[in-house]
Chain A
Amino acid sequence: MSPAIELTAVTHDFAAGLGSHRVRAVDGLTLSIGRGEVFGLLGPNGSGKSTTLKILLGLLSPTAGEANVMGFRSGTDCARQQLGFVPEAPYFYRHLTARELVRFYARLCGVPRSQRERRIEAVLREVGLLPAADRRIATYSKGMLQRAGLAQAIVHDPAVVILDEPSAGLDAEGVDVLAAALRSFRQAGKTVVITSHLLPQIESWCDRIGVLKNGRLVFSGDVSAIVQVRTSYAILRESLSGEEQSEVEAWMTTRTRAWERVETRRGCLPAVYDEMLNERSARERGER
């Protein structure tokens, strides 16, 4: 069985201005992503992530090399039929409702008429957009637009879903919806490719990552294996006086010489933010 995505020595050059000067965005990239894998494509700005995605989507043709999706050459109708794409900062037709938008894409992807409405209902429910499905997209928040983006990407039940910076600009709730969608993709055995600059999210979502720099793949491997090597352990206490700290250090020294330090950790905003929201909703429930 062929891998879900296979890039073989893919190179892409862009014309830079007038004349024959060209800029190499992707340089001999060879990469294989297995079926059912959640893969994170990382790298700094200008490293070639978006160009690689566009080659996979068939929006750009490689200057050299070959890109295949589910065994089909990228850019062909067969390859595109296997792909679902959620663009960065999605913007959709403001004059349509989410239901009409998803129907439009479902028709373009050839979802049979007999299954179409059922499928639209199912994906809108899956992304949590069903209550607002008949509202114009012009009235949607950024999070809702992202959900509409997810819905249009999966309406034809593709084998591969590509998400370009999916959590950029999303609030915590939006990120939760995205994480839930990724879990359901994983359960359904879909291959997912994500590009992001938010490494904690990539760590929790992806099985494997590839790091690009100047168009070249500089690293590729399992997330759990990479993280495991650098794992350390901590004993957490809410408060510690100076005297207690000295005692702990002395005790640690007698037990093991491998300990590093006792440090004071600041509270982090995400945790405090979650606490505040939870307290508020609990208070509102109590008032009712």
Chain B
Amino acid sequence: MNRDRWLQCSCAKIWILASHVWIEGVRQRLLAGFYLLFLVLLVSSLGLRQWHFGSSELKFLADFGFAAISFFGSILTVVASVHFFFGELEHRTLLTLLAKPVSKSEFIVGKWLGVFLLMGAFCAIASVSLAGLTLARASELFARGDSALEAVASIETKQVLLVGLFQWLKFGVLAALVLLVATYARTALFALAVSFLLLAVCHLQFLIRDAYVGVEFVPLRWVARGCGVLLPNFQLFAVGEEVTGGNPITAAMTLHATFYGVGYTVAILFTAAFSFRGRDVG
């Protein structure tokens, strides 16, 4: 088989595996369940408007929505990645699958792409729902001639959707990270625990780097730098505050986050595929 044909076949198999993950995620109501939770929280934010701590109502709603996308999206990414990986392992369907002309690398990339598609759908419907809610509330306030018009102008639909895109990129990196952990972990529980720990560490990674990068003790400085390189910085994708603070997301920011996310995802997936190659799946 020549190289082009091999690549074509490999991509086709990855796509088949990914679409299988998508079907499973939809039929097992993982996507619908988490979207429903997000929606409940979003709608409940309308009843919590009095707790806006001085910011405008629309900013409060947007902040609440962005946090809900990040929170439920992160949980869904970790749970779905672990579930789809260990489901195959525990039910031994992996044996039947890998007895077909499917390599372990294709399996890992296929699972990742499936979770990534699922998260894309989640981010899309969640950010469209949030944009819809803020628009509806803005037009309500506008009709009343309320004083929040300034805030209405500052939260554009496009910006809300861009925040969704940034979150999607983050979930892509997170899914790859979870799969890397899963290739090493012996139980789903261990994979879940370590993945959530890594999620927290990646969110706080910039603190470690900032705190130790200036210290004089050289080994510690190198460890801090190493953390900064090995672990992705998830704060880079947290642009919700920028948007609600009136600083729109620029094309340069989007490009930077895209390259950063894609780079880390590829590197982590490569490591996961390598780690899984040596694992006995029998």
Contact = CB atoms under 8 A, between A and B. Distances in A.
A85 B96 contact: yes
Contacts, number: 65
On chain A, which size bracket covers the interface?
20 to 34
Interface in B88-114: 91-93, 95-103
B140 interface: no
Given A59-B282, A95-B28, A108 B99 contact: no
Interface stretch (B19-27, B115-123, B127-135): B19-27
Contact of A59 (B12, B28, B98): B98
A80 interface: yes
Interface string A106-147: 011110000000000000000000000000000000000000
A87 B102 contact: no
A195 interface: no
B13 interface: yes
Nearest to B96: A87
Interface string B9-23: 100110011001001
A150 B124 CA distance: 40
Contacts of B9: 110
Contacts of B93: 91-93
Contact of A81 (B12, B24, B101, B103): B101
A83 interface: yes
7 contacts: A80-B100, A91-B91, A91-B92, A92-B96, A104-B20, A105-B96, A107-B12
Given A60-B282, A91-B92, 10 more contacts: A57-B98, A77-B1, A80-B102, A87-B96, A95-B24, A104-B20, A108-B100, A108-B102, A110-B12, A149-B96
Interface of B: 1, 9, 12-13, 16-17, 20, 23-24, 27-28, 91-93, 95-103, 280-282
Interface of A: 14, 50-51, 54, 57-60, 77, 80-81, 83, 85, 87, 90-93, 95-96, 104-105, 107-110, 149, 152
